[in-house]
Amino acid sequence: MPLPRTRGTALRHRLAELRGPDIAAKALDARALAALAANPGCKRRAILDGAGVNKAALASALGSPSVFGQSQFAFTRGNAFEAKVKADGGAELLRLVHEKLDRSAEPPAHARVPELTATGPEGRTARTALALREATETRGEWTLLDHPMLALDVAGSPAFLEPDAVVVHPDGSWTVVEIKSFPMLDGSADPAKVGAAARQAAVYVLALEQIAARLGDSDPAPRVRHRVLLVCPKDFSNLPTASAVDVRKQRAVTARQLARLTRIEDIADTLPAGTCFSPELPAADLTAAVEAVPATYAPECLSACELAFHCRARARASGAVTSLGRSVRAELGGLTTVEGVLSAARGESGDPDDPAVAALRRAARLRAEALGREAETLGNEAEALGHEAEALGTEAVAPCH
């Protein structure tokens, strides 16, 4: 639900202060949103993304630059492929949507491609919603929305998203189209990449459902199709091919995780006055600002968040068990540091009735027993070798007859 005007304005001002003077907000893309949803417990990422902070610039200013991102070559190749897919008013793209998702409809002889330009993300979002309504009301035609802009409420603050395309079918239903430059070989692509594309598309589906609800659909699900179209280069060529991907599971998981995010304004309220994440500030001030927000580091952050090297170093320095991975962390219950775990295992601290402490002590006992047996075996082997050496020595000194 949108914030009342005054609260919304106050929050926007507060987020602008956190970003730093005259620094434009970095738009959240669906990839970033999907990553945010994957770690809903991290308030640090939530506030930085909510305020539109450029995390890559922040990580560099902290002295821990991030290493991931798309190369310029991949970016250019991706843009060239997308232009090819959308050439001639999107004729090939619509043919693929018809073939993979809606064979019962009339083939798309031509399509409407509405103009979506407007000022600012809010203007573009409103223009997109209007185009979707018009296309939906004009039954019997295919409509291609090229780079529409969608808004999704994330932790009480709007995130603006730009899918590659949305197609309105003749029956008035909507399909998200994702165009990727990784190849589809013999009809299938790298599962990890397809999974990432499905998570992104699920974010767009959620945003479209919010528009459908505003347009008066009591149940937006039939309007927004949950099978999206993934378009990729065919084999090693530059020709487009496509596959329908069911994103129901990713949609449900992302919706659940986004609902778990702490509201941005609640996190902002806990920060000391004057907190600022501007990369222009000295590293020491920035470190203090970043450390003022709790984080939940996990090794998965390394492939999903620009601040991962910084957060990993801090987690390791404080001996936090989070750096060992989520599954280990979950097994350890209330034990949060490596030192605490070792001390509990040695019997020096911890409640013996705590299942985690009891399991650690059992494991420590078994390990000590195993090491003791190993030492005994080694001792026996050494003794046997000693006897053998002694026997050889005796043979060597025996007189020859």
CA distance 343 to 350: 8
Considering only residues 193 through 252, tell me which ones interact with ligand SF4, judged by CB under 6 A: none
> Which residue from 327, 288, 318, 257 is spatially nearest to 42, judged by alpha carbons?
257
The alpha carbon dihedral of 25, 29, 34, 38 has a sign of: negative
Judged by beta carbon, residue 301 or residue 344, the one nearer ligand SF4 is 301
At its nearest, how many Å lie between ligand SF4 and the CB of residue 43?
A: 8
Judged by beta carbon, residue 210 or residue 318, the one nearer ligand SF4 is 318
At its nearest, how many Å lie between ligand SF4 and the CB of residue 32?
A: 11
> Which residue from 74, 23, 33, 26 is spatially nearest to 305, judged by alpha carbons?
33
Q: How many residues bind ligand SF4 (CB under 6 A)?
A: 12
154 binds ligand SF4 (CB under 6 A): no
At its nearest, how many Å lie between ligand SF4 and the CB of residue 210?
A: 25
At its nearest, how many Å lie between ligand SF4 and the CB of residue 283?
A: 17
Single out the residue of 34, 111, 206, 311 in contact with ligand SF4 (rule: CB under 6 A): 311
Considering only residues 281 through 310, tell me which ones interact with ligand SF4, judged by CB under 6 A: 295-297, 301, 305, 307-308
Strand pairing report for 143-146 and 165-168: antiparallel
Placement of tokens 């170093």 in the chain: 313
CA distance 301 to 298: 6
At its nearest, how many Å lie between ligand SF4 and the CB of residue 305?
A: 3
Alpha carbon distances (Å) from 216 to 133, 161, 209, 353: 10, 22, 11, 55
At its nearest, how many Å lie between ligand SF4 and the CB of residue 25?
A: 17
251-254 own/partner pairs: CB under 8 Å, 24+ apart: 251/202, 251/205, 251/206, 251/226, 253/37, 253/202, 254/33, 254/34, 254/37, 254/199, 254/202, 254/203, 254/206
At its nearest, how many Å lie between ligand SF4 and the CB of residue 35?
A: 8
- Element (DSSP H or E) covering residue 362: helix 355-397
At its nearest, how many Å lie between ligand SF4 and the CB of residue 326?
A: 11
Considering only residues 35 through 94, tell me which ones interact with ligand SF4, judged by CB under 6 A: 39, 42, 44-45
Helix and strand element counts for the chain (H, E):
15, 7
Judged by beta carbon, residue 20 or residue 114, the one nearer ligand SF4 is 20
The first and second tokens of residue 138, run together, are 């004009």
Judged by beta carbon, residue 184 or residue 298, the one nearer ligand SF4 is 298
At its nearest, how many Å lie between ligand SF4 and the CB of residue 318?
A: 13
Judged by beta carbon, residue 62 or residue 144, the one nearer ligand SF4 is 62
Judged by beta carbon, residue 39 or residue 250, the one nearer ligand SF4 is 39
Judged by beta carbon, residue 185 or residue 271, the one nearer ligand SF4 is 271
> Which residue from 127, 161, 147 is spatially nearest to 49, judged by alpha carbons?
161
Q: Is residue 280 classed as helix, strand or coil in its secondary structure? A: coil
N-to-C CA span, the chain: 106
User: How many CA within 13 A on the CB side of residue 165?
Assistant: 29
Q: Which residues bind ligand SF4 (CB under 6 A)?
A: 39, 42, 44-45, 295-297, 301, 305, 307-308, 311
